A and B are shown apart, each in its own frame.
Chain A
Amino acid sequence: MIEKALKGKPAYWMWLAILGVFIVIGAVCYLRQYMIGLGLTGMGRDLSWGLYISQFTFLVGVAAGGLMLVLPYYVHNYKAFGRITILGEFLAISAILMCLMFIMADIGQPLRGLNMMLHPTPNSMLFWDMVVLLGYLTLNIICGWVILTAERKQVKPPKWVYFFVYISIPFAVSIHTVTAMLYMGLPGRHFWLTAITAPRFLASAFAAGPALIVLACLIMKRVANFDVGKEAINKIATIIMYATIINGFFVLLEFFVGYYSQIPGHIHSLQYLFFGLEHHGHVYNNLVPFMWTFAIFCVGGLGLLAYGKIKDRLTDGLVAAACAMIFIGLYLDKGLGFVLGGLVVSPLHEIHEYLPTANEIGITLGIWATGFFVLTLLYKIALGVEHEVES
């Protein structure tokens, strides 16, 4: 089936070439970082996690989002999703690959990465994160590949693959729960030390993942003659709406806890993210525009989808705009706000604002480009099989 990715229109190759440029830039930047040190990033002693880990956190959510396609189809027999579960599984593969690359880019001694497997440490959530991420990656590769092959041969998938499909459902929940647990259990970090972090992560994941899939479907409808059908898009839009509303509700609850209890540890990060933090005469507010963009985009996206559903005018353009807004908004919330907001006030109660360096952004873009590169190849294969089956 891989040969399906080797033939394509010029636009396909152009897209891959553009991504390739970013990948090369990322590789060069990473080589510099590998040779000189992580000091080339904007991180420091008091802000020791930054862009890489925040991207990793967001992308684990995107990978888990595929669950929202698998669950209705395999457990509830919702036939309309039959053609797009593969898209969810392939998105999970490329998202997890990006996560693993971000982790490798972030650790100080990447060549010792195997120590996590040679010296398993069950009390460490990072160990379990590695286990569930690699497990979920394997599950998606197995399920995606076997089921796509079966579809190509026009036979039913072998019975044994359903075992892996059903296991991937709790795994999808677990990858993001474990990632949330990385943050939830740290005694010194009050912005993260709350049980709602895990549900919030899941809600945001189940909105962001499907939003990206919908965008991909609409793009593929335009450029690759692949129509998943109105019913599927409408259903996913419903799922995205509910997930976004729940995520918004959880964020508002955080505001309540902070501002009603007036405990500084709970207010500080929210204050910094949304209003700016004043300390010794200086106002720290470089994330404020991003967080309000998140709020406006999520509400706006919801509004567009609600309008489309109520007036029954759910056009492709409307859905695409809404999903793009929601995806970007949730990226800003989780990919920037959550991690960086939690770190702005250090355990020694100093304020440190984070500004990524050019080298760091280069590596980040390179890894995103690699992920999209893999995603494009995988989707090309999936579409190739679809077209072959249709004819």
Chain B
Amino acid sequence: MDKQRRKFLKIAGATALAGVSAPAVVKLTSSPSFASSGQGAAADSHSTAKDAGGAQHDVGKKSIRYGMVIDMRKVYGKPELMQKAVDACHTVHNVPDFDKPENEIKWIWTMPFENVFPEHSSYHTSKITEDNEFFALCNHCDNPPCVRVCPTKATFKIEENGIVAMDYHRCIGCRFCMMGCPYGARSFNWFNPRDHIKVYNPDFATRTRGVVEKCNFCAERLPLGKEPACVEALKESGALVFGDLNDPDSEVRQLLDENPTIQRKPALGTKPSIFYIV
């Protein structure tokens, strides 16, 4: 190659590189966000929100940690009641209904004891344990392996309230979180979910093909003062109790003080937020 052409190519390459990186440089040094100057919006989209979580949160207080106690004694022998909780969740969140189990999407469901608690003994279990199914859902762990493995931070833990959340806009569908979750709590949209939703809840979005989803502890209902849909569906029986695990006076903490509970796969150190009274 002659010297002139080499020089031209070097300059052209450098210019192209500068041109491609210019938008990135501009973005990094740009002025504060558009929404920050609007009414009612957060002060800065990068600061941690101080008023997160709605009514229950107080600025000076420690962060809350949402958790749930599932009192199985109240639903033994009542599979239709347990199904009511499952249906409530799936209806409110536009969760699609697939026939084939491999395409299934479920945020909360029921399974036999040996599947929900495979690290507890299923040897000579009591009759009531054998005859009933148990709730399974995302444990919203305090030390979540799914968050640790996600390459885009599409799933992340909200520090203010301990909920392990999903950002469907960012998820690239690599399913590494599904590999990381020791509880099988996550589902993937193998097909377009919209064809398999019978009734839409206009208050919530659907998801799109190619992203992972799971229980979100009804993070959209909590700021409105509502309880999670499954908890509300079983309100009369009081089988599901939801509250702040960091508040020693909350109902969940009292239940935990008074009743022996078990958790799923505790030896893995994930520190789940769901407790079962069996």
Note whether A and B contact each other (Cβ less than 8 A). Answer: yes
Q: Which residues of A contact B (CB under 8 A)?
A: 36-39, 43-49, 103, 106-110, 112-113, 115-116, 119, 121, 123-127, 130, 182, 185-189, 346-350, 352
State whether B188 touches A119 (Cβ < 8 A).
Answer: no
In the complex, chain B residues whose CB is within 8 Å of the CB of A186: 145, 149, 179-180, 182
State whether the Cβ of B261 lies closer than 8 Å to any Cβ in chain A.
no
B111 within 8 Å of A by Cβ?
A: yes
What string of 1s and 0s marks CB contacts (under 8 Å) between B114-153 and chain A?
1110100000000000000000100000000100111111
- Complex: A46 Cα to B190 Cα, angstroms: 12
Q: Which 3 A-B pairs have the closest CB atoms?
A: A108-B173, A44-B102, A108-B210
A182 and B145 alpha carbons, distance in the complex (Å): 12
The 8 A CB mask of B84-115 against A (1 = contact, 0 = none) is: 00000000000000001111110000010011
Beyond the given A124-B176, A126-B149, A347-B184, please list 5 additional residue pairs across the A-B interface where CB-CB is below 8 A: A45-B103, A46-B184, A108-B189, A112-B152, A115-B172
Establish whether residues A47 and B102, one from each chain, have CB atoms under 8 Å apart when the complex forms.
yes
Of the A-B pairs whose beta carbons lie under 8 Å apart in the complex, a sample of 24, sorted by A's number, is A38-B188, A39-B103, A46-B184, A103-B174, A107-B172, A107-B173, A108-B174, A108-B209, A108-B211, A109-B172, A112-B171, A119-B153, A121-B152, A124-B148, A124-B149, A124-B176, A127-B151, A187-B268, A188-B145, A188-B181, A188-B182, A188-B265, A347-B183, A352-B102
The residues of B with any CB-CB pair to A shorter than 8 Å are 100-105, 111, 114-116, 118, 136, 145, 148-154, 170-176, 178-184, 187-192, 209-212, 265, 268-270
Q: Which of B173, B183, B187, B192 contacts A45 (CB 8 A)?
A: B187
Which of A44, A107, A116 is B103 in contact with, Cβ under 8 Å? A44
A187 touching B182 by the CB < 8 A rule?
yes
By a CB distance below 8 angstroms, the chain B residues around A349 are: 114-115, 118
User: Quick one: closest B residue to A264, CB to CB?
Assistant: B118
Residues of A contacting B154 in the complex (Cβ-Cβ under 8 angstroms):
115
Return the contact of B270 from the options A47, A48, A110, A187 (Cβ within 8 A).
A187
- Most B Cβ at <10 Å: residue of A36, A130, A186: A186
Separation in Å of the B203 CB from the closest CB of chain A?
Answer: 25
Which among B103, B105, B149 is the interface contact of A125 at CB below 8 angstroms?
B149
Q: How many angstroms between the C-alpha atoms of A110 and B174 in the bound complex? A: 9
The distance from the CB of B235 to the nearest CB of chain A, in whole angstroms, is: 28
Q: B106 — nearest CB in chain A belongs to which residue?
A: A45
> A34: shortest Cβ distance to chain B, in Å?
10
Q: How far, in whole Å, are A347 and B145 apart by their CA atoms in the complex?
A: 13
**Contacting B102 at CB < 8 Å: which of A46, A116, A121, A182?**
A46
Q: Is the CB of B191 within 8 A of A39?
A: yes
Complex alpha-carbon distance, A60 and B142, angstroms: 34
A37-B145 contact in complex given A45-B188, A106-B174, C-beta closer than 8 Å: no
Which one of A109, A123, A185 has the highest number of Cβ atoms from chain B below 10 Å of its Cβ? A109
Question: Using Cβ atoms and an 8 Å threshold, which residues of chain B touch A48?
Answer: 175, 178-179, 188
| Distance between B85 CB and nearest chain A CB, rounded to angstroms | 19
Interchain CA distance A121-B172 in the complex, whole Å: 14
User: Chain A residues near B105 (CB, 8 Å)?
Assistant: 45
Query: Which residues in A have their C-beta under 8 angstroms from that of B183?
Result: 188, 347-348
Chain A residues, Cβ within 8 Å of B145? 186-188
- Name the residue in A36, A108, A110, A126 with the highest tally of chain B Cβ atoms < 10 Å from its Cβ: A108
A106 to B210, CA, bound (A): 10
Indicate if the CB atoms of A347 and B153 lie closer than 8 Å: no
Q: Do the beta carbons of A45 and B115 come within 8 Å of each other?
A: no
In the complex, the chain B residue whose C-beta lies closest to that of A108 is B173
B170, B174, B175, B209: most-surrounded residue (chain A CB, <10 A) = B174
Cβ–Cβ contact B102 & A43, under 8 A = yes
By the criterion CB–CB under 8 Å, are A119 and B176 in contact? no
CB distance from B268 to the nearest CB of A (A): 4
User: Which of chain A's residues have a CB closer than 8 A to the CB of B100?
Assistant: 44
B172 touches A45 (CB 8 A): no
Nearest CB of A to B207, in Å: 11
Contacts of B187 in A (CB 8 A): 45
A48 CA / B189 CA spacing, docked (Å): 11
